[in-house]
Amino acid sequence: MSLRPGTVARVNRLVDRHGRAHRDLRVSLTDRCSLRCTYCMPAEGLPWLPAPDLLTTPELIHLVRLTTTLGIDEVRLTGGEPLLRPDVVSIVAALADAVELSVTTNGLVLDRLAPALRDAGLTRVNISIDTLRRDRFKEMTRRDRLDDVFAGITAATRAGLHPVKLNTVLMRGVNDDEAVDLLRFALDAGVHLRFIEQMPLDAQHGWRRTEMVTADEILSALSDAFTLTPVAGRGSAPAERWYVDGGPETVGVIGSVTRPFCGNCDRLRLTADGQLRTCLFARTETDLRGPLRAGASDRELADLIVTAVLGKQPGHGINDPTFLQPPRSMSAIGG
């Protein structure tokens, strides 16, 4: 679907009232997932978004392409699990010429899809893996699929996707004893590992600060086995990085809660049901699906997006006593 007449000029109009210019859009392709991670959703899953509310592929591509005329030049496809979307390869093909494209996936079907995604224009991938132990994987995800994740990591590197990044969430008393092993695994596999502090975004609203493993604790555990040297220049990247044993390999830590990086945030989110979220922790959203289906012009849609961004909150507020977890859970927002 080509853009309607009257498309706006290509300047970064996605600047909020705190002076942050936004260029990175996270797009949730679905809220469904093939795993049931304990820190994300209950074992029985969730009441999924109604199918009529989900953006059709032409609608999704139209909105994403519209944001590229406003300043977005990087897009990450997320979920739920984005590779569950049957036409994910054609979505990649439709967007790859306009933006730097990546995907965050649980890796379960990457073994099968990596070559096709690469051929469609995907260049990089983030794969979630929280443990190297099969029994623990079953416990943490309620699925016995660790071998599929390993196969997905191998397929991603074989397909030439680069960088291949691994995302790990450590939970106290669950998998926090695996930090060193996970980094060794990543170094051996030639991929880049980032540890992410657990955030209050689970559907059960069961997050407890005391159960979260902090960035300081992660770095201390790693320093028992490796020499870590800070990498200068973080920019708007969520991860702080350290050279491992003098480098060039590095490890990343995303201290969302204890080391917030909201001051340089350049990220926006589009949900699978067409809502624009200016922050992962936003408690309000801007509906783009309704106006789009009602025939709004690209200029009207662009104005909705620009206005929403202007009003973006300064940060997540997790450390404020007034903090309230957003009603929408992680699986329906995307990473």
Which spans of this chain sit near ligand SF4 (rule: CB under 6 A)?
261-262, 265, 267, 279-281, 315-316
**Are 49 and 272 in contact, with CB atoms under 8 Å apart?**
yes
225 Cβ contact partners less than 8 Å away, ≥ 6 residues apart: 180, 183, 184
- List, as one string, the DSSP characters of 256-267: TTTS--GGG--E
Find the shortest distance in angstroms from Cβ 224 to ligand SF4.
Answer: 29
Give whichever of 13 and 22 is closer to ligand SF4, judged by the CB atom: 22
Give whichever of 39 and 281 is closer to ligand SF4, judged by the CB atom: 281
Q: How far apart are CA 32 and CA 238, in angstroms?
A: 25
Give whichever of 206 and 314 is closer to ligand SF4, judged by the CB atom: 314
SS3 content of the chain, % helix, strand, coil (to 5): 30, 15, 50
Alpha helices in the chain (DSSP H): 57-68, 88-95, 110-120, 134-141, 146-158, 179-189, 215-223, 289-293, 298-310
Find the shortest distance in angstroms from Cβ 148 to ligand SF4.
Answer: 29
- Whose tokens are 């020499």? That residue is 227
Find the shortest distance in angstroms from Cβ 310 to ligand SF4.
Answer: 14
Give whichever of 152 and 252 is closer to ligand SF4, judged by the CB atom: 252
Find the shortest distance in angstroms from Cβ 309 to ligand SF4.
Answer: 11
Omega of the bond leading into 248 within 30 degrees of 0 (cis)? yes
Find the shortest distance in angstroms from Cβ 9 to ligand SF4.
Answer: 26
Instruction: Quote the DSSP letter at residue 49.
Output: P
Give whichever of 62 and 267 is closer to ligand SF4, judged by the CB atom: 267
Give whichever of 101 and 280 is closer to ligand SF4, judged by the CB atom: 280
Find the shortest distance in angstroms from Cβ 219 to ligand SF4.
Answer: 20
